[in-house]
A and B are shown apart, each in its own frame.
Chain A
């Protein structure tokens, strides 16, 4: 297990979610996607969210990012509570990588445009040097700079998406099933890249996955979700020993071994 290099000092809360509820629709059509979820992630830690589809794990990430209009509860990033409407400075701290690399990149923007625009919007002016640096960081190198998404493989696209998320130099990366659209061999490459980036940049990860072994590899702590509620928060060690206490987590564990 990779421990964060900054773990020696007292743990500082990087992301704290308290009593978060998210719902869609009104009145009769109201769907409660997340109900009273609370968890805390320390600086430099890696936290997993697992559960079946529709259990609300991605919705939590979207709520943190400010992509869902209706939510209640409290979210604080780096011990500062976030406002209902996110400030630009928020996105310098928190960034997200989406599930499907085929859908998250603009098909008519080259890698250079994708990264350049992100850097420009975040107020950087030495864009040229930074694009080169970002591509190096994610192991792509300069020859990919002027390619379009259709000229890249799935793994390469996901690397571009990670580079885009790293552009504003964030401290927290929200990873929404970053490898579920990829082959196992490519999955290994991307997971290794994420591990390296975490040690290099001291990042905090919140990772959503339906694959318990991926979460077991990447995270130290995980929450199991069912029907919009967190049923159990446990250490990965407990997961490895198959000592989950909630019946649903046991069921999930049995299905993935």
Chain B
């Protein structure tokens, strides 16, 4: 289990490298999220002390940008693209099917902690629309059946391991 009381070495090195630079807060938050998968509250306390900025400043930035997460995501992060091309080519139907299949609304995690469902703006893979990504891997030219099939693959992987 992670303890969030202190910065791990890797992050500490990063913070020290960026600390003297102006305007480094967003980059440091990116590093924290890359490390933990989200930005833990306790780490923000540590950062406030390290960077000598008020906690409110950190939260102000954190809550402005969609990219930062305040909660630990599930093992597999599904992100359905809702860019214009995907929207026109059936992304809303795929999303509904996935919601029904997982029995969760967007922004939530499944009870077994396996999947989180998010909506993203545009991956810039409009040629493959509609697309979704799972933990960063992009799947293209989806329809309902293919989308659900991919979820099953991940479930299968889980039972196999």
A and B interact physically: no
Residues of A within 8 A of B (CB): none
Residues of B within 8 A of A (CB): none
